[in-house]
Structure 1
């Protein structure tokens, strides 16, 4: 081959690589497929070159996350009382305070609340919206943030590991019940999930500055333990790339532009010097009891939870590392610059730390939910390579992949529908309460609505009509309930009485039943002295609204975890979730007659 021929060959190879990238990024999907078939089929598998473009991915994710914003339940009382309630206090001047917001302990950052309060305040100011619409507007913003960060993550996966891994990751995340639940939750762990998507996506695209900065934002602003996810970035930048100066410089810059403002703002709100991220670490690791006093769970908790939220994708994600190592010689994944084991390192380090802790909560896994989708995509790509190496028909491999995607998606949708149908009653009841309040708009009387054992399902003061106040009545729960914030502007600084960090019962939180005008309750059929069946006290209470609620004790385990048409309606037991109204007393009736 002469010099001209060699030069032309090299140019053709470069042009081929550029064209392949151009086809994937710039042209519509159908054009990409045709172009690949014409120009690249001799050297590449068409399926290996095609993946949905960024615009398509964004639209699909936006549709799913908007549905989550509208239909998601509030599954954790921590979301209500530690985030929605103090946010409502900042916006509207009323809300419940937990011990974490006492200046004595100061575990929570007001900066995290303020970045959500600002768009909510602007929305309410411009459109004069009621509190319920402000709540759903914020949820929509959370869903949009998830969509944006997931799309950026997808782009990084495609660039680093190729279209096949990218499109599998996209589909696994799109239909995941876990992503549906976590994407619009108002929790630091959800915010850390957004930041993890951005930091790892930036890492995969070689943007180390953004990767370091978003990891710092996640650790300082939302959840200190989320900094663990940056371990892969640190190893790559410091050990593999040996870019110490860049890493140290941007760690210092992150402290100056992220942590210092957080300290200043929180110190202002608490009225003393406060480093909230440090307080969280000290409480959870160095205190005598840590979070274990709020309950412990068996080692199987996260495995069961992972299967419920990701079904087949979860075990595929767990075995990603050994699968990648076993199939290494087949070179199933075309990674550009990051070793596969390093990309999986944050997932396995998180699992090692959190799976071994006695106190377990579902939200603790939110930051690594996207990594399960990526890890499962690694595993299945390796499986496909093994099937090809065994000379199995290509059609069979395609059918197996399609079967995995369809079955996992259907199961996830079944999980989502089951959770909504079974546990959405509390939000329905308070929406009905708002409807009743709107119908009697001219009524200037103030009413008390009470909750006993259902206190932890309260959907937040965003659902509480302006002429109503929430009170707690005694129940079998013997821990510490929250209390109302003291009035603004100094309510965040005042030392609330009767607060402890040991979850000890504070009887000052309870109201007398006679002070309740309305009451929300779940009719379990069981009664105790502190938890009577209020709806059976017909001389005092009348049921004005009720919604079906799934009875866990009386329903089969499979059917309460997933919705299966006909079977769920037939074999699941429903019990009433009721809104009760106090009947006028006989004395009041006599006064009215006179």
Structure 2
């Protein structure tokens, strides 16, 4: 036997071949050969769904765009009240009502059947998003098993379940999260060689969700057009997808806006072909995504970044058998991830949600890097101390896999707990505000002015108001950008061009409300104040604190311990302020009858 063949046998056992959808797959690291344990599709779905439901319940809204561009117009569609941003003005028409209706149709059915409190509708929608995310992930997991092997797939699954990035993005009502679901499905279908499904999923992701997500479909298109020369099939399914998606989308959006609207084109024109683009909303340094990626995926993210170097190292140093010719080359199958990184890391305007579509692929690339480390370790060990021919690298490197999963999972859980403990307060306080109305302590025959000042961007949405007589109002603060305003009260409000909107993020003084007319204020007390941002919590003659909870003061907390929660230790290095629900002293809550009195009255 040649020495090269002997070395290869040290890495790989003989693998059976089987047919699947017209192509041959190796039995990846076959469990019958080396005793691999991995979850089946049903078990994987249950694990993923459990994690996503946790996110739906305990994750806070991390981006004000989610509140004002999606939750608020959705509240208007369901209840007739809500905040409108300039992007929903018919003058600009950057957002699609079709995207909202995908979520609001089941929510409307839920409202019709059970007449729930609006906050329950909020969580109902989040649970729907969680189910959609889990379904896309389990489909991805099953096809990673086929394309990369069970070993890489089970690590990918562990990273998906326990990473903080997936916790944040999975239940977010954002087009970038929607595109994450559908782009994950498209890439999984590509791995399964279901090109028609991959094209259709990419079309839904980019047309109904976020048009820039089409970038992730470029390697799939190149596979069909260049490698496989299937021009006819590609064009056919592009046309089918466009017809099936765009025709109803244009009809629905044009009906709501009162004019012809192609929302994906409008958002591309604004962000790419204007002089300012999105940079007027702020720019971030090049390091932003590196720091953000580590917070959300810790060492998984580092592994994803170095995966190409690991590929090269293993290819040049380790005498491993080439992949099955029916599988895509590693560099090509991971191309969507690095194409996205190349484009978005170079943009000046950076936001956490812009990386959502590649989050599952970060988990996959991180798992591949761990696999490379195992192979490299095993190769070095065999050079030092030769092993029997039948030895497989996984038999001697399980500790590396377990260490990677345990360490990355602990960091992921720690980060998710830090987010919950530090920033969940606005959701908790708004739940208390909702109870005031649902328990009958607030009159229903007058409009209730619920005011926000500097905390406008943490307001979780009007779904937390108990009834339609509550109105969100804005107090002037140090923020100098453009705030939303309420939808018009006219029947065709979505097609009315309201005054005082602009697409340059210029301050609109017409938004500001008189603090003397506020019934409630949502405010954060960090012990500081300015002329425009007084500490309303310390004005006992005007406001009373009726509910308070802790909120992290990041400026006075240790950078590591505010980012990652360590039980029994973090509280020593973190400082908290008070997140308060304030009631005007001029406004008296109604008394709540005890259950006994209520029963006697009945």
Secondary structure of the corresponding residue to residue 288 of structure 1? coil
Number of the residue aligned with 1:384? 374
Instruction: For 1:200 and 1:335, locate their aligned partners in 2 and report how far apart those are by CA, in whole Å.
Output: 19
The answer to whether the 8 A contact 2:44-2:157 is kept is: yes
Q: Does 1:278 align with 2:262?
A: no
Question: Could you report, residue by residue, the CA deviation over 1:511-552 in whole angstroms, capped at 9, with x for unpaired residues?
Answer: 111110111110122211111111111111111110100001
Distance 1:252 1:295 in 2: 37
Q: Residue 109 of structure 1 aligns with which residue?
A: 96
Corresponding residue for residue 459 of structure 1? 460
1:51-66 to 2 correspondence within 5 Å? 51-66=38-53
Matched residue SS, 1:317: helix
CA offset at residue 18 of structure 1? 4.6
Secondary structure of the 1:390 match is helix
Partner residue of 2:250? 263
Instruction: Report the TM-score, using the length of structure 1 for normalisation.
Output: 0.90
> Which string of whole-angstrom CA distances, capped at 9 and with x for unpartnered residues, describes residues 414-453 of structure 1?
0001100100111111110111222226833332111100
Distance 1:495 1:386, change over 3 A: same
SS at match of 2:100: helix
Higher mean displacement: 329-338 or 77-86:
329-338
C-alpha spacing 1:336/1:380, structure 2 compared with 1 (3 Å) = farther
Q: Match for 1:532 among 528, 531, 534?
A: 534
| CA distance 1:526–1:184, shift in 2 (3 Å) | same
Q: Are the structure 2 counterparts of residues 558 and 514 from structure 1 closer, same or farther at C-alpha, using a change threshold of 3 Å?
A: same
Higher relative contact order (CA 8 A, sep 6+): 2
2:551 is matched with which residue: 549, 555, 579?
549
Offset, 1:568: 1.3
Measured in 2, the distance between the counterparts of 1:397 and 1:497 equals 65
* Counterpart secondary structure, 2:397: helix
- Please give the per-residue CA displacement for 1:69-102, whole angstroms capped at 9, x wherever unaligned: 1111000000000000000100110000000001
Q: Is residue 336 of structure 1 aligned with residue 336 of structure 2? A: no
Contact 2:435 2:466 survives alignment (8 Å): no
Which of 233, 238, 243 does residue 246 from structure 1 map onto? 233
Which residue is 1:215 aligned to?
202
Whether the 8 Å CA contact 2:323–2:329 is kept in 1: the answer is no
| CA distance in structure 2 between the partners assigned to 1:247 and 1:187 by the alignment | 29
| Secondary structure, aligned partner of 2:343 | helix
- Paired with 1:541 and 1:118, the residues of 2 have a C-alpha distance of 40
Residue from 290, 293, 297 that aligns with 1:310: 297
Paired residues of 1:162 and 1:335 also in contact (CA < 8 A): no
1:21-170 to 2 correspondences below 5 Å: 36=32, 41=33, 45-47=34-36, 50-170=37-157
The answer (yes or no) to whether the contact 1:269–1:493 under 8 Å persists in 2 is yes
1:488–1:134 CA distance, 2 compared to 1 (3 A): farther
Runs of 4+ in 1 over 4 A off after TM superposition: 13-16, 18-21, 332-335, 392-396
- Give 1:332 shift: 7.3
State how many pairs are aligned. 554
Contact 2:163–2:297 (8 Å) recurs in 1: yes
CA contact (8 A) 1:161 1:335 kept: no
Partner of 2:361: 371
2:51–2:167 contact (8 Å) kept in structure 1? yes
For 1:515 and 1:431, the matched residues in 2 are separated by 23
When the two chains are superposed, the root-mean-square deviation of aligned CA atoms in Å is: 2.1
The aligned counterpart of 1:500 is: 502
Asked whether 1:421 is paired with 2:459, we answer no
Paired position in structure 2 for 1:447: 448
Superposition deviation, residue 15 in structure 1: 11
Deviation at 1:151, TM superposition (A): 0.3
Task: Tell me if the contact between 2:164 and 2:412 (Cα under 8 Å) persists in the aligned partners.
Answer: yes
Contact 1:203 1:233 survives alignment (8 Å): yes
User: Using the alignment, how far apart are the partners of 1:372 and 1:337 within structure 2?
Assistant: 20
Cα distance in 1 for partners of 2:324, 2:16 equals 17
Matches of 2:212 and 2:42 in 1, distance apart? 33
Report if aligned partners of 1:64, 1:174 keep a CA contact under 8 Å in 2.
yes
Residue 106 of structure 1 and its aligned partner are, at CA, apart by 0.5
